[in-house]
Homo-oligomer: A and B are copies of this chain.
């Protein structure tokens, strides 16, 4: 264990004790101050960012990765806007979520408190440094951030701004720390700090997330992949089904909440699939279907077993005709990733049953899968989407960076 990482952990723990006591206005002031500094110190930030981009270009990074790395004026303005939005949200800390009275008169309740120290390991986007730190500060936590090596200079610069704003508000600067080394052993050391880091949140590709999950000694909030389904029931408004499918697949195919498999009830397949298939063809979507789908859609390719598991993140869609809704739910249970599933139906009982029986982080009736997102669902900012069930399941906002303790108000109660 490197001394540097260990001492970051200790400083974070000490800072967390102070952050837990920080008042709402103090925390919000930090966020507003960072928002202002992002614009005032734009030149400094962008010259750090230029260094990263030069190195990335020299290493031949793809255009997409360079884009994610770039802190343009627009990106900085969006970061500043996001910070001000988080500042406007209510402070979750201190909320009494429930309270009840015991037969002996003891009043027992649950009070919301910070998690403590949050660790975040992420890949190229430097804006995550600010977005994630903001949510952690709002929830009264300390945070240790370890960004991708490509964004090293940008992240160091943003960290200095965050720490300066914390210091100006009288809060400990060590509430936000960015790991100052880019080698992978530093990640391994972080993952052993279970005494000092209460939860680890990896954000990035599946390889990174599996690495973190395998080596972390602390709990991990993680999101592997989104194999999202839309089920078209036999009792259906055709036009609504058509629009929802198009939106779920085509509006932004490269993201985790895009539809990857379409399931269609056999009683409606002959009416629905030929029209829908043609619309998909015009939108450039490649279809891979079961035998019955292929009978109805001429250009549909045959689907293999792997297609049912696939997260394409592209203009490709698996299609299957099912005999019953139960068969659709079984398909989702077998092949799905517990991310996002939607039913399109006009039938009350089917809607209820689907809502109850499908165990994904978001289950929708008559709406696009693309709504599985913290902003879209009304949580404000989002620190990731959890597809594991412990602590948080689905999009994680400020509240998911807190926990609750029990409180008990007595007047001398003793255990007998």
Q: Is the CB of A405 within 8 A of B393?
A: yes
* Contact residues in B for A361 (Cβ distance below 8 Å): 405-406
For A364, give its contact among B20, B111, B199, B410 (CB under 8 Å). B410
Tell me, yes or no, whether A347 is within 8 Å of chain B by CB: no
* Contact residues in B for A407 (Cβ distance below 8 Å): 355, 362-365
Interface string of A398-416 (1 = CB under 8 A from B): 0000011111111111110
In the bound complex, CA of A305 to CA of B243 (Å): 69
Q: Is the CB of A405 within 8 A of B217?
A: no
Interface string of A369-394 (1 = CB under 8 A from B): 01110001110000000001111011
Q: Is the CB of B359 within 8 A of A405?
A: yes
Tell me, yes or no, whether A357 is within 8 Å of chain B by CB: yes
- Known contacts A219-B219, A408-B364, A244 near B391 by CB under 8 Å: no
Interface string of A16-37 (1 = CB under 8 A from B): 0100110000000000000000
In the bound complex, CA of A108 to CA of B355 (Å): 12
Q: Nearest CB to that of A358 among chain B residues?
A: B405
* Contact residues in B for A355 (Cβ distance below 8 Å): 111, 407
Q: Nearest CB to that of A114 among chain B residues?
A: B359
* Contact residues in B for A376 (Cβ distance below 8 Å): 102, 415
Q: Is the CB of B364 within 8 A of A415?
A: no
For A219, give its contact among B108, B390, B413 (CB under 8 Å). B390
For A371, give its contact among B106, B199, B364 (CB under 8 Å). B106
Q: Is the CB of B359 within 8 A of A414?
A: no
Interface string of A78-121 (1 = CB under 8 A from B): 00000000000000001000001010001010010111100000
**In the complex, chain A residues 238-291 whose Cβ is within 8 Å of any chain B Cβ:** 240, 243-244, 247, 251-252
Q: Is the CB of B102 within 8 A of A247?
A: no
Q: Is the CB of B415 within 8 A of A371?
A: yes
In the bound complex, CA of A214 to CA of B191 (Å): 12
Q: Is the CB of B365 within 8 A of A408?
A: yes
Interface residues on A, range: 35 or more
Q: Nearest CB to that of A353 among chain B residues?
A: B21
* Contact residues in B for A410 (Cβ distance below 8 Å): 364-367
Q: Is the CB of B412 within 8 A of A240?
A: yes
Task: Count chain B CB atoms within 10 A of each CB in A94, A252, A405 and give the residue with the most.
Answer: A405
In the bound complex, CA of A332 to CA of B409 (Å): 19
Q: How far is the CB of A352 from chain B (nearest CB, A)?
A: 10
In the bound complex, CA of A111 to CA of B404 (Å): 19
**In the complex, chain A residues 120-174 whose Cβ is within 8 Å of any chain B Cβ:** none
* Contact residues in B for A395 (Cβ distance below 8 Å): 406
* Contact residues in B for A363 (Cβ distance below 8 Å): 405-408
* Contact residues in B for A413 (Cβ distance below 8 Å): 366-368, 371
* Contact residues in B for A378 (Cβ distance below 8 Å): 100, 102, 108
Tell me, yes or no, whether A333 is within 8 Å of chain B by CB: yes
Tell me, yes or no, whether A194 is within 8 Å of chain B by CB: yes
16 A-B pairs within 8 Å (CB atoms) are namely A111-B355, A115-B389, A198-B388, A213-B217, A247-B415, A351-B409, A362-B406, A363-B407, A366-B412, A368-B415, A372-B406, A377-B406, A377-B408, A390-B390, A393-B405, A394-B405
- Nearest 5 A-B pairs (CB), nearest first? A367-B410, A370-B415, A391-B391, A247-B414, A367-B413
Q: A199-B389, A367-B412 are in contact. List 15 more A-B contacts (CB 8 A).
A: A102-B377, A106-B367, A115-B389, A213-B217, A219-B220, A219-B388, A243-B412, A351-B409, A362-B407, A363-B407, A365-B407, A366-B411, A368-B414, A372-B406, A377-B408
